Amino acid sequence: MRKRVVVTGIGCVTPLGTDTDTLWDNLIHGRSSVRKITLFDATNFPTQIASEVHGWSPANCGLDPEEWNGRGRHTRFAVGAAKQAVDDSGILNHVAPERLGVYLGCGEGHQDFMTFTNMMVAALTEDGLDMDSFIRAGLAQLDPMEELEQEPNMPPAYVAAMFDAQGPNANCLTACAASSQAIGEAVEILRDGDADAMIAGGSHSMIHPFGVTGFNLLTALSIRNDEPERASRPFDLHRDGFVIGEGGSMIVLEELEHAKARGANIYGEILGYGTTADAFRITDTHPEGRGAIRCIQMALADAGVNTDQIDYINAHGTSTSVNDKVESLAIRHVFGAGADTVPVSSTKSMMGHLIAAAGATELIICLLTLRNGILPPTINYETPDPDCDLDYIPNRAREKNCRIALNNSFGFGGQNICLVVGKYTH
């Protein structure tokens, strides 16, 4: 029999709540965290709205601000969420350092737009950009430590050092699927017996000029700037793109017998993990949902459950025209007639898209849904789209006793990750 893996700690730093209690309260009351961008001057950008983390400091988690404020924004979110999750689990006194690992899905940190702009200005001539001058300006102006701190591998390095986690350590960056993949891969490490506990999740912040510019050029972001709280509207006919968010979410995963032996509080069990690729286009989902369909099927098979056992689906639901249509198609293909009765919601409607951190955040939401028996809604769902014909739990939370939930994460590049999580049963 393969080893069973359970969740014994959760933590989050998100725009909708910088602890899990606040996050949950805002979710079930259908509140939005989308506002005008404050992290940079977005006045002249097509998109001027985002879902930012406000009013949070590492000090809120008992960490020294002087030590962490110079780190990348993604690192601060990661260590803050990890500190919450590890404290919540109580794991540190019950696992040998070499048996505790870290597997994260973290994106890059804040990009130094102003320094890069100054370098460009310094190197411009009447004939265009002089590369020798550009290189000299870079050597003179770039801070090597700042460049190091923004790398995606820094959060797992800091998290490992913080908790003396000497076991397996990795970071994967598969776009919007990253932190879900990190959780799935951490589960496999525990199933294989290569660790007793893993800190898993992700963090990201792309709310900077480079990030917003890139997504604007792809026409992927909402430009509903006059109505920020109504901008993220997954599955609605009048959706016009996603809202970019930021944050970090972490869980502690533990081999079941190890957790039972120490009397740990168990939030739920990771039952299944599926991973596929569309092998299609970099920024377009396959129109027939072939990768998403196989990924859902793989996760269900790994979990050993049928579609009629799924009580709730937390959809990827980005509020883009293509994603929402194809994801709905994929769910209907896999669930057949049962697709009409399984409730589906996109919590991105309230907090926007946390990119690499999205999947871990949404898995925590699934765990809280199982524990509390309340399904979070899809807010801003006003006009049905004929191509999106499922039960999206519109606008109001719904009570339901849930035993098993499915969490979908589909990333740019065609990476697909699905996780099945259930209530822990002896």
> What positions carry a catalytic annotation?
176, 316, 353
Q: Torsion angle of alpha carbons 290, 237, 32, 316, nearest 10°?
A: 0
Name the β-bridge partners of 274: 418
Cα separation, 285 vs 281, whole angstroms: 7
Other Cβ atoms less than 10 A from the Cβ of 268: the count is 24
Strand ranges across the sheet with 169-171 = 169-171, 100-104, 197-205, 246-255, 5-13, 268-277, 415-422, 404-411, 312-314, 344-345
Rounded Cα–Cα distance for residues 300 and 291 (Å): 14
Closest CA to 106 of 76, 80, 70, 78: 78
C-alpha 275: how far from its chain's center?
16
Q: Which H or E run includes 8? A: strand 5-13
Helices 321-335 and 290-303: crossing angle in degrees, nearest 10, is: 50
In this structure, which long-range contacts are made by residues 42-48, counting pairs with CB atoms below 8 Å and at least 24 apart in sequence? 42/212, 45/209, 45/212, 45/213, 45/216, 46/216, 46/221, 46/223, 47/212, 47/215, 47/216, 47/221, 47/222, 47/223, 47/225, 47/241, 47/244, 48/225
